[in-house]
A and B are shown apart, each in its own frame.
Chain A
């Protein structure tokens, strides 16, 4: 079985498989959403059982143990804490009284409606469960209170619940939830429940302690990569380095001689070595002599792909995303026109936990231990590879060491099962970091042309945004995506910018790259808002206006956008003087149901090096479930986006990914992180998503700050520091390494070199 790829030649089988297993992820736009399992009481395979199991999410045992089965996976974003808070608020228990577990694979009970299947992504978790999980908690509490009232033979109205105990108010009699569990289970499940008024919230809105972190300070938490089962061996794998290529001949002799190597397993497009431990597997893999059938993409390069994208942008007929007014006419009538084009690269996810999966394929069942954002898809892959029915595929989900979209696809589970199928014992497959970066499914590259006409007042009379890039949805969903139909993700963040624009046209040219693509933190808006907000800045400068003043004039009918704009401007000291070489940039956007304005303050040296001095972020994300988590996601999301804007880009030469590890796919380091201040705008709107919101702000705020500091407009990511050198500055190449990190990286590079010599004796961390 080959590792499925999305190259045009191979996509059919993958899509057929996805259809066959009835997976629906991405089906929202096809109108096939599934309702979450509120009040569903049917048993779940692998589920936690208890005396009181009123729905898919809550279990209360007679001994008082309370378990929440949470529909969304924890990968650092705080979802377990947030979702547990929603249930606990209405169930009337404290988070410290509860154990949380991941839901087993079950699309029927644990689907995220917006994603059409059981999945964690798109900043949807809290939005999707905001009502359903509170209702689940309220229904269970109603049943517990009713059981207590029946036992006491008193009216329900005389009873109240608090911290897992029901109290009969007139007499002070009390019964704990555990004692009531059996009787509560016999109460009817209420069909409708009244939820608390927000002013009565006890937990929601408070920065409760995270439920997932106590075992993360002492190594106790078991991520997928940490799983050890009896008799397990460890494998590592090399897939064909060329996109879409196949495995040719393999000379195994030297690998077989490596102590600890047990088996060598060939797949259609990859080879794996299995050993007693990872080191044996890795040494064995390195000892193989492999020839590859490189296939059709042996000459593929990112330069060629960008040239194809540019040609498509000009020559192909676009699909209209939004059209209001006569754009061509308005452009002709404009006092002034401005146009620009922007380029964005492919991006890898590079979560800290490399891809891994433990699999045991037995005679008639398959057991899997993995951290995945899509447990039912993982199950589907295993069913396809083994030929076993879904109920013979047992999936244990684990905390994830960083997802960012990478684990929204489960193709690597399919590969691991294909390897494990060929041996009798359980296997833990671990990808090296090199394999992880070079065999990712990438955020697509984009080429966008944008133009505007300005009126006499300098404000836009017309706005035209031509987006060009691949369809992530087309690469993802069963049956692909019709060629003539809009993929909303491609224009999300472009189609509805939070501005009063009288005439607007946004269209998309679809040009699917031959490399596999998927969602990446911030999805559509991370790409589009960079273009929209950079260009909005360009318009302000073209009109001779201050960038905040300009946006203010365009948000008169956009109250939430205007709110965060004003707050960010005020808190950042917008307009106050900065030293020469320094500048402030702002980015304003509306994505995932949240509004954000971010001001970035930077300094650019004469050599073109960028220092991130300070970030001030204003956010309106509706009702805040956990303010501390919101702030953590903004801090982390911003740094994630800044990393990409400063350093990240996946390029291809001769069909191969040029980058391989953190030395050439750089991640922002601690010494480079800006100070970050976050200001909340109080709101009673429903909660918005927050896991990706600040990632969206990063690149445009930085582009605009660079312009403010240097007068230079960078329209291509990642930002090329060579273009920022002052005239007369040293013309030697500016590295992508800032001054503070350079000595450190020299130490690290040195340690790497020493390790590669094989005579290394001691590598000091610093």
Chain B
């Protein structure tokens, strides 16, 4: 059994050590907001936060999470940065198909948590690992700036 703290709740899961956190969240715990996109940390759709740091859960073995707290998109609205990011995303109508946006929101809220006033360069560095096939990039940039001011 592997012990995890997910969105503030203690969980115990009976899964192989090498099972990526993504599939533990989706298939075992039932938190499907975190998405599968590529399986090799190329697209960022699976981004969650470990103690506030964005990580790609599709390549993160569940046994390596340890005592670090896992936060997913289902709970990010409970953090000040997450709430601002979600609101800015809606206000600027960032979202199209929305499939990548869980990961975008997790990366963006982690960015704002550590850097409340990010420059374009900071946004490039934080957000370029998250692919959006609908091409919402210009709005993501604008929404991060709006959330920073909120």
Q: Which residues of A contact B (CB under 8 A)?
A: 75-78, 207, 209-210, 212-214, 216-223, 225-226, 228, 234, 259-260, 276-279, 282, 350-354, 399-404, 430, 432-433, 628-629, 632, 635-640, 643, 661-663, 667-673, 675-676, 740-741, 744, 747-748, 751-752, 754-755, 758, 760-766
Contacts and interface: CB of A to CB of B under 8 A. Distances in A.
B140 to A, nearest CB: 6
A635 B39 contact: no
Nearest to A740: B124
A402 B98 CA distance: 8
- Of the four ranges (under 10, 10 to 19, 20 to 34, 35 or more), the interface on chain B belongs to 35 or more
A354 B45 CA distance: 11
A760 B129 contact: no
B33 interface: yes
Given A352-B131, A636-B135, A765-B47, A752 B55 contact: no
A763 B138 contact: no
Nearest to B72: A219
Interface string B41-62: 1111101001001111001110
Interface in B59-118: 59-61, 64, 72-74, 76-77, 86, 89-90, 93, 95-102, 105, 107, 110
13 contacts: A216-B101, A217-B101, A276-B27, A354-B37, A402-B134, A672-B128, A740-B124, A751-B59, A755-B40, A760-B60, A760-B64, A761-B61, A763-B55
Nearest to B49: A765
Nearest to B89: A217
Contacts, number: 235
Given A217-B73, A217-B105, 12 more contacts: A209-B90, A212-B98, A228-B32, A403-B97, A433-B37, A433-B43, A632-B136, A670-B127, A670-B132, A671-B127, A671-B128, A763-B60
A354 B134 CA distance: 14
A220 B33 contact: yes
Main secondary structure of the interface of B (DSSP, over half): loop
A670 B128 contact: yes
Nearest to B74: A219
B125 A766 contact: yes
A637 B126 CA distance: 23
A351 B64 CA distance: 30
Given A217-B89, A669-B128, A761-B61, A223 B99 contact: yes
A303 B111 CA distance: 45
A710 to B, nearest CB: 25
B26 interface: yes
Contacts of B99: 223, 351-353, 401-402
A632 B128 contact: no
Interface string B4-18: 000000000001101
A763 B47 CA distance: 11
Contacts of A744: 125, 128-129
Given A216-B98, A402-B97, A352 B39 contact: no
A210 B93 contact: yes
A403 B18 CA distance: 32
Contact of A673 (B30, B102, B129, B137): B137
Contact of B86 (A218, A226, A353, A672): A218
Contact of B140 (A210, A221, A670): A670
A663 B131 CA distance: 11
B50 to A, nearest CB: 8
B23 A279 contact: yes
A765 B107 contact: yes
Contact of B95 (A217, A354, A755, A764): A217
B29 to A, nearest CB: 11
A213 B98 contact: yes
Contacts of B77: 217-218
B135 to A, nearest CB: 3
A352 B43 contact: yes
A225 B50 CA distance: 24
A338 B26 CA distance: 58
Which 3 interchain pairs have the tightest Cβ spacing? A219-B33, A401-B99, A639-B135
B135 A751 contact: no
A672 B128 CA distance: 8
A670 B131 CA distance: 7
A219 B27 contact: no
A207 B93 CA distance: 10
Contact of A278 (B23, B35, B40, B56): B23
Given A213-B90, A758-B18, A761-B64, A766 B136 contact: no
A636 B137 CA distance: 8
